[in-house]
Amino acid sequence: MTSVAERVDRLERQWAERPGVLGWLTTTDHKRVGLLYFWTTLVFFGAGGVEALVMRSQLIQPNNHLVGPETFDQLFTVHGMTMIFWFIIPMTTGAFGNYLVPLMIGARDMAFPRMNALSFWIFLASGMFLYIGLFSGFGPDAGWFNYVPLADRLHDPSRNIEFYTLGLAFNSIASTLTAANLIVTILKLRAPGMSFNRMPLFCFAFLAASFGLIFALPSLSVDLIFLFLQRNLGFHFFDVAHGGSSFLWQHLFWFFGHPEVYILIVPAFGIATEIIPAFTRRKMIAFPLVAIAELLVVFIGFGVWAHHMFATGLPTTTLVFFAGATSMVVIPSTIQVFAWCMSIYAGRPKFKTPLLFIIGFIVMFVAGGLTGIMFLAIPFDQQTTDTYFVVAHFHYIIFGAAVFPIFGGMYYWFPKVTGKLYFERPGQISFWIIFAGTNLLFFPMHIVGLLGMPRRVYTYPGDMGWTSYNVIESIGGYITAVGILALFTNLVVSYFRGAPAGPDPWHGPTLEWSVPSPPPEYNFAVIPTVSSAYANWDADDRERDGHRLTAGVGTLERGHEQHVSSLIDGWTSEIVDMPHSSPWPIALALALSLLFAMLVITHYLFAAIFAVVIALTLLGWHGKEPQES
Amino acid sequence: MSVRRLSLLQWVGFLVGGPVWFAEFLAGIGASQAVCNPASARWGIPHDAVQLGLMLFAAVCVLIALAASAVVFRETYEVEEQDPPPHGRIHFFAAASIGGNVVFLMIIVLTGIATIVDRTCHQA
Amino acid sequence: MSDVVAVDTRARERFPLGVWGIAMLIATEAALFAMMVGSYFYLRFKNAQWPPAGTPEPKVVVPLVLLGVLMLTAFPMWKAASSATPRRWLLLALVVQSGYFAMEVSDFRDDLRHFTPQQHAYGSIYYTLLGADHGHVAVGLLLDAWLLWKLLFGMTEFRRKAVRAIALYWYAVIVLTIVVTLTVTSPAFAR
């Protein structure tokens, strides 16, 4: 009879990664892909942060000359693009989503492992594409939303806007692939017994964000294609003289752009809904309402886009649809805030660093949400649009509601990923520095915006009464930078010097805490059975898994095997053979990079040649078929 | 009530409200844009009548979905939210759908009234 | 070694993961086309004359007949997906779809002799929308050809799933083409 040790040994051999650098370049393991995303997004976060600090240094005093207007234009544009497309989205969906979703649902990998690796390499290549543009003096410079006619050939003739259109189009392929992968994984690879009512709220959040990406990104893609065709081939979508409309750019952009901001924060909601139960030692209050709220926020978010266009002169009979929907989209967010607060209040909270970041997130999110509600009043919006009041609002939301949970999540899952505990005291200190710094940085922006300071100005006169606020903001920026440095220093030192964490230092509620830290390549020696959304707290189930492991039931050791379940109720439907290491994802990403490079220098013939190379690469990708089950 | 019927009502409750609201929303915006743009204004679309019709149709559909969710919730009242499927899942979706459909109904009514009451094509 | 994971008899639907992947692709492409169709009508609302003066009205009969031909290819694709010997059904579908594509390319070139996308917004959106649709048909032809080549080497479980996935792709392309054709011919029906 096969012993447990022999089964585990067989699994380790089946799932072992190739050694060395080659192993990382050809990996399809969701954990490795998640880590690649994690480190790469941190580099882009650093770049976006440096851009922010340069801007704050330029604005620290009036009539400053640290950077000129053209450089400042590129800085605020690339800062916005980097933080949204190359930090928050890939950090949440690519890093947290990839690493944690399969573990939380009891799966061994994502549904499409090679496509997962492909999405990372495309993401990396698209970031390099954008920054090559920036460093060669062709950084996008018309703002992250790139309105026409400013972004049209007449007003912005050089290649800057091509780096915008093609860079974002390139990046959006990666996000679309990740979203598709997350959706199919969550719907089809859940452990036996994990019906929707027993799925962790984290997975609901990632499902919502992924559906958002699938349906919102195409609107941006259409906009980018139209602009590329207009600028390079003389088409006329946006120019009024030939029957076009510059509003069309705005409608298409914001149809993507508003769901995008919910896509930014909903995964963070998911992180919060896992940290709160772990550190309050109780289940989330109003579980079904929180789950539907996560879905509703993204869904209703598709109906509010023209609240970004209240100052464009559209008829009010059109705009009131958006004002009405905007007022109602607050409700699911509020449901969640109440559920989080009541869960903390009704539980037995342990105020460790992850929970501190979540409490900070709630405070910042509520503040940003309140200013958001102010904007839904059309007259108020028309007074404050394009002022620093807007900048304050969205930074409270994005930094508070997306970045704070990311930082909290880094601390929370650090023991799982590294097998080490972080140092708690420095962690709490880093939280307080960041919290103080971000409020110093962003709160005065409300006031200076109401005093009339426009956004996107590279300098300002000294007699407007804005100077002292800008000084405070810039100091706040430097303090925030110090706090972030402290956070990462703590994590790095903890990695080398931290105490061993064991599998479950927090007595966490979900399945990732039932496996060793860090998890083995195959995640679960036996596919777990589940009878609640807090599967790790169900001791009977986990004990039963142990017996099943001994008996060899559900170990799936015959190959690189994964269990597939039915869509609604999570009943076992088949066992499939999953791909292993492969060179095709990086090869395909390289071919795509060359295609986009040829497009940006308008060498269309070579672009067509690389399109053929891409088709041939796809042939190679599908050359080897999986083993029959 | 049989599990099959409960499940059907549960899906009606969960899946009808959102798409109906979104379709009415897009149709309402489309109608107001068609009325308020110079080229399409000559088509003579009766703005307020169209918006009223859309609002009433959508509201009725969402009310039906809400009623379906409420019936299922009441039928599965004794079921716990983490109970095994299908009853646990049915109860969960019914509870969730009640919340969702109430929100959709409010948006439909609010935006419908606002667009009818407002001066048609008045520029913001 | 015992490694029994029983398939649950309550698990009824059995779409392979590859079909789910194609479904995700269809969802995102449908959104893409919805945006382009929406843009078409948005631009139409802005222009008193559509098509603009000097631009011929869109043809109606030929596009609708060709559309009917493409819709008929759903039948051989469905037969291929549900048959144990899909090759001949796939070949039939590929031949008809290729004929459709050739006619559409010829029509496209003919249109370009009368007006160009660089002339006005009508031309821009007309050619972009049609071009995107034809592009999706072209990709479908390549997928058919790849499948036929694979099936020359026999039938496997993977290839059976691939036929189902590609059939689903074609159903979506047919629906897309219906929407696009009705959109670009709409000036003939509603001035």
Contact list, A255 vs chain C (CB under 8 Å): 35
pLDDT tens, position by position, for chain C (191 residues)? Answer: 334 456 776 666 678 899 999 999 999 999 999 999 999 999 998 898 999 999 999 999 999 999 999 999 999 999 999 988 899 999 999 999 999 999 999 999 999 999 999 999 999 999 999 999 999 999 999 999 999 999 999 999 899 999 999 999 999 999 999 999 999 999 988 76
Mean pLDDT of chain A: 95
Portion of chain A with pLDDT greater than 90, in percent? 92
pLDDT in tens, A108-166: 999 999 999 999 999 999 999 999 999 999 999 999 999 999 999 999 999 999 999 99
pLDDT in tens, C11-28: 666 788 999 999 999 999
Cα torsion angle, B107, B108, B111, B117, sign: negative
> Coil, strand, or helix at residue A315?
strand
The dihedral region occupied by B44, where left means phi > 0, alpha psi between -120 and 50, and beta the remainder, is: left
Q: Is C44 on the interface with B (CB under 8 A)?
A: yes
How far does B25 lie from chain A, in Å, by closest CA? 7
DSSP run (H or E) holding C134: helix C121-151
The first and second tokens of residue A509, run together, are 């509620």
Helix axes A113-133, A160-188, angle to 10 degrees: 160
Quick one: three-class SS letters along A31-72? Answer: HHHHHHHHHHHHHHHHHHHHHHHHHHHHHCCCCCCCCCHHHH
DSSP run (H or E) holding A550: helix A539-551
8 A C-beta contact, residue C46 and residue A235 = no
If pLDDT is split at 50, 70 and 90, which confidence band does A333 have? very high
pLDDT of residue A436: 98
The first and second tokens of residue A440, run together, are 């110093």
pLDDT of residue A627: 66
Tell me the residue type at A442.
F
Cβ–Cβ of C156/A625 closer than 8 Å? Answer: yes
DSSP run (H or E) holding A167: helix A160-188
Distances (CA, A) of A388 to A150, A152, A454: 21, 26, 6
DSSP run (H or E) holding A340: helix A316-346
Spatial distance between the Cα atoms of C20 and C24, rounded to a whole number of angstroms: 6
8 A C-beta contact, residue B27 and residue B54 = yes
Q: Is A11 on the interface with C (CB under 8 A)?
A: no
Spatial distance between the Cα atoms of A528 and A111, rounded to a whole number of angstroms: 17
CA angle A241, A242, A244 (to 5 degrees): 95
Question: If you measure CA to CA, which chain A residue comes closest to C35?
Answer: A219
Spatial distance between the Cα atoms of A91 and A99, rounded to a whole number of angstroms: 11
The closest alpha carbon to C5, from A524, A504, A510, belongs to A524
If pLDDT is split at 50, 70 and 90, which confidence band does B122 have? confident
pLDDT of residue A60: 97
Tally the residues of chain A.
629
> Coil, strand, or helix at residue C153?
coil
The secondary structure of chain B as a DSSP string is: --HHHHHHHHHHHHHSHHHHHHHHHHHHHHHHHHHHSHHHHTT---HHHHHHHHHHHHHHHHHHHHHHHHHHHHHTTTS-TTSPTTHHHHHHHHHHHHHHHHHHHHHHHHHHHHHHHSPTT-B-
pLDDT of residue C131: 97
| Dihedral Cα A184, A189, A194, A199, nearest 10 deg | -40
Q: For tokens 């930082």, what's the residue? A: A407
ipTM of the complex: 0.95
Mutate to test the interface with B, among C35, C43, C45 (most CBs of B within 10 A): C45
Residue A597 predicted with pLDDT over 50: yes
pLDDT in tens, A496-511: 999 999 999 999 999 9
pLDDT of residue C5: 56
The closest alpha carbon to A542, from A526, A561, A558, belongs to A526
pLDDT of residue A52: 98
Q: For tokens 């790790």, what's the residue? A: A536
If pLDDT is split at 50, 70 and 90, which confidence band does B63 have? very high
Mean predicted confidence (pLDDT) in A278-301: 95
Spatial distance between the Cα atoms of A108 and A87, rounded to a whole number of angstroms: 26
pLDDT of residue B10: 96
The first and second tokens of residue A233, run together, are 């081939």
How far does B67 lie from chain A, in Å, by closest CA? 17
| Dihedral Cα C51, C56, C57, C63, nearest 10 deg | -120
Cβ–Cβ of C8/A242 closer than 8 Å? Answer: no
Tell me the residue type at A132.
I
pLDDT of residue C36: 98
pLDDT of residue B41: 75
| Dihedral Cα C29, C35, C41, C47, nearest 10 deg | -130
Spatial distance between the Cα atoms of A443 and A468, rounded to a whole number of angstroms: 13
The first and second tokens of residue A493, run together, are 């030192």
β A561-565/A572-577 pair status: antiparallel
8 A C-beta contact, residue A270 and residue A202 = yes
Tell me the residue type at C36.
M
pLDDT of residue B85: 87
pLDDT in tens, A528-543: 999 999 999 999 999 9
Cβ–Cβ of A245/C119 closer than 8 Å? Answer: no
pLDDT of residue C11: 67
CA neighbours closer than 13 Å in the CB half-sphere of residue A362 = 21
Beta bridge partners of A315: B123
Q: For tokens 């699994």, what's the residue? A: A11
Q: Is B18 on the interface with A (CB under 8 A)?
A: yes
Q: How far is CA A305 from the centre of its chain?
A: 20
The closest alpha carbon to A524, from A549, A506, A544, A499, belongs to A549
Contacts of C77 (CB under 8 A, 6+ apart): C89, C90, C93, C166, C167, C170, C171
Residue A1 predicted with pLDDT over 70: no
Spatial distance between the Cα atoms of C80 and C71, rounded to a whole number of angstroms: 15
pLDDT of residue C13: 63
pLDDT of residue C2: 35
Residue A2 predicted with pLDDT over 80: no
Mutate to test the interface with C, among A240, A625, A627, A628 (most CBs of C within 10 A): A625
Mean pLDDT of chain C: 92
Across the interface, of C39, C52, C158, the residue whose CB is closest to A252 is C39
Mean predicted confidence (pLDDT) in A197-224: 97
Residue A380 predicted with pLDDT over 80: yes
Spatial distance between the Cα atoms of A188 and A203, rounded to a whole number of angstroms: 12
DSSP run (H or E) holding A162: helix A160-188
CA angle A42, A47, A53 (to 5 degrees): 120
The first and second tokens of residue B26, run together, are 């897009």
Q: How far is CA A195 from the centre of its chain?
A: 26
Q: Is A313 on the interface with B (CB under 8 A)?
A: yes
Mean predicted confidence (pLDDT) in A349-371: 97
Spatial distance between the Cα atoms of A68 and A75, rounded to a whole number of angstroms: 10
Question: If you measure CA to CA, which chain C residue comes closest to A3?
Answer: C1
Across the interface, of B33, B38, B39, the residue whose CB is closest to C50 is B39
Cβ–Cβ of A574/C7 closer than 8 Å? Answer: yes
Q: For tokens 């994971």, what's the residue? A: C5
Mean predicted confidence (pLDDT) in B99-112: 95
Helix axes B47-75, B3-15, angle to 10 degrees: 150
Cβ–Cβ of C39/A237 closer than 8 Å? Answer: yes
Contact list, B82 vs chain A (CB under 8 Å): 197-198, 531-533
8 A C-beta contact, residue A299 and residue B101 = no
Q: How far is CA B95 from the centre of its chain?
A: 16
8 A C-beta contact, residue A294 and residue A203 = no
The secondary structure of A558-587 as a DSSP string is: TTTEEEEE-TTT--EEEEEEPP---SHHHH
Beta bridge partners of C42: none
Contacts of C among chains (3+ CB pairs under 8 A): A, B
The dihedral region occupied by A286, where left means phi > 0, alpha psi between -120 and 50, and beta the remainder, is: left
Q: Is C169 on the interface with B (CB under 8 A)?
A: no
Portion of chain A with pLDDT greater than 70, in percent? 99
Contacts of B74 (CB under 8 A, 6+ apart): none
The closest alpha carbon to A368, from A303, A319, A439, A266, belongs to A439
